[in-house]
Amino acid sequence: MSALAGLEPLRIGVLGAARISAGAIVHPARETGTRLVAVAARDRARAEQFAAESGVERVLEGYQAVIDDPEVEAVDPTLPNGGHGPEHLAARATGKHVLTEKPFASNADEAMTVRFAASAAGVHCMEAFHYRYHPVMRRMLEVAGSGEIGEIALVEARMLMPPPAAGDPRWDPVLAGGGLMDVGCYAVHALRSIGELLGGDPAVTSAHGRELPSQPGVDAWIEADLTFASGAQGALVSSMTHGVLDFSLRIVGTHGEAYAPAFVLPHVDDRVIVTVGTSQRTEELGRRPSYVYQLEAFARLVRLGEPVPTDAADAVATMRLIDALYLAAGMSPRTALEADRA
């Protein structure tokens, strides 16, 4: 049962008809009673197919038409990375709330512009780091902060995946592509989240990586070492050219460790494995999709003003750390685009 009983259903407009939308917004909308009012995509036929399969009420001609629709109160831009910032700004200009795919923007400067625009417009925005709302991540933070595994010494976040096909927008430098932007940002955000227990965001100590040979300027992989204010160490590994999937998070303390084998895919693997000395236990936190928890949190933000951990201020801090990692690895932060309208 959804946690939104008694609240008026949200009315969301979808920008784009991306593959991720089925799990990220369509299923959660059905489970929570959220209305998907309108959709637009570059290819109208694709938008019409998406609407027919997903129960979206109507197809409109162009992203701006969705943003301008008087029934739409919030938008969900499921677009390539480079389109996030421009569409945020367009939505805020018309007073619409935004639940956006990560990353929030192409770089920290653009993220700051979006944050100021949201504040000036008096609207809510939330970055879709969905894992942060699932019991798996909440439990990892609880164990880390409880003292059970002792003083935290190391946090290791790994986001490794096999390569997308050639021509995939995630490889496009114009669209702010790259492994750190697409999957590595989860590792960045997880390190920042645990940093709340360790005196704040970590600082980059060193980083190295490799650009995709066929796409100069787009990172295939990046590895980095970081340091928290407490003295604890951080380790980040991001890759879109790995042989197998590895989306894991490990928190090592002086007495033991907490390990989530798939912290961003809890609907696939919901385990948190806690080891203290020679004792080990496995906690299973439930496979209800993290995107459902996230949509519930967004609805409570819009309807009740309940704060969320992935708000605009948090998004700016994440983008600053992403920019710092690119620079430390000898690469350039992504470049912001003008609005790329359908």
Angle at the Cα of 278 (from 274 to 249), degrees rounded to 5? 25
Q: H helices then E strands: how many in the chain? A: 11, 14
Placement of tokens 């790329």 in the chain: 340
Cβ atoms of 302 and 319 closer than 8 Å: no
Whether 96 sits among the annotated catalytic residues: the reply is no
Which secondary structure element, helix H or strand E, spans residue 127, and what is its range?
A: strand 125-127
Q: Report the sign of the C-alpha dihedral through residues 124, 128, 129, 135, in that order.
A: positive
Cβ of 92: how many Cβ atoms within 10 Å? 24
Q: Which of 102, 130, 132, 170 is catalytic?
A: 102
Query: What HEC string does 265-291 produce?
Result: CCCCCCEEEEEECCEEEEEECCCCCHH
**What percent of the residues of the chain are helix, what percent strand, and what percent coil, each to the nearest 5?**
35, 25, 35
User: In 3D, which of 50, 164, 264 has the Cα closest to residue 66?
Assistant: 50
Residue for token pair 């920042």: 192
Query: Hey, which residues are catalytic here?
Result: 102
